[in-house]
Copies of this chain bind each other. A is one copy, B any other.
Amino acid sequence: MKPETRKNEIIIKAAALFKDKGYSAVTMRDLATALGIKAASLYNHIDSKQAILQDIILSIAEEFTAGMETILQDEGSSINRLNQIIQLHVTIASRNADGMAALNTDWMHLENKLDYYLSLRDTYENNFRNIIIDGIEQGEIKDENVEVILFSMLSTLRSLYLWIPKKEDLNIDQLSDSLSAILISGINT
């Protein structure tokens, strides 16, 4: 799935640099230096800086799309599906925090593939929203504003990349459970 090709090393390292400074502020010279080579040498492995960004963002976006489809095919209550979504985000963010940073902060720098990315994101959010609406209709979820519930959960889940790398003592199952408890049941006694 992730062969140790030179191209893959470049993409992994680029994602790490993008996380720290953002796509626009990272130069091909920065990336080359971080890999111990010259900027011109990068072009033997990748087509352009833009192609690196596309690779990072779209592979993750497609992972989320596939994960959501699995969740929708499963039988299960709405709360159960929300817990599966939480687990999906924790899993992807813990495996590729740097890529998640690029997806969250640099998606607007996608050029040709911007529309494709936006369509994936839109579909994902619609599926997420429909799960919440179903839950309210079934009486599993409180009748609060749907958009506020969706926004609140998505904000937390999309920010996981900022936070997971610092908390290696908390394993991903514990984190997933703890997040479920807090997002679903709240914090007051």
Residues of A that sit less than 8 Å from B by CB: 20-22, 24-25, 79, 105-106, 108-109, 139-142, 144-145, 147-149, 151-152, 155-156, 158-159, 162-163, 167, 170, 175, 178-179, 181-189
Contact = CB atoms under 8 A, between A and B. Distances in A.
Nearest to A159: B155
Contacts of A158: 155, 159
A119 to B, nearest CB: 18
Contact of A147 (B21, B144, B155, B167): B167
**Copies of this chain held together in the complex:** 2
Tell me what chain A mostly uses at the interface: helix, strand, loop, or mixed. helix
B183 A187 contact: yes
Given A24-B25, A151-B163, A189-B139, A170 B145 contact: yes
Contacts of A109: 21-22, 25
Contacts of A156: 151-152, 155-156
A159 to B, nearest CB: 4
B159 A151 contact: yes
A188 B24 contact: no
Task: Name the residue among A79, A109, A139, A189 with the largest chain B CB count within 10 angstroms.
Answer: A189
B144 A182 contact: yes
A140 B22 CA distance: 40
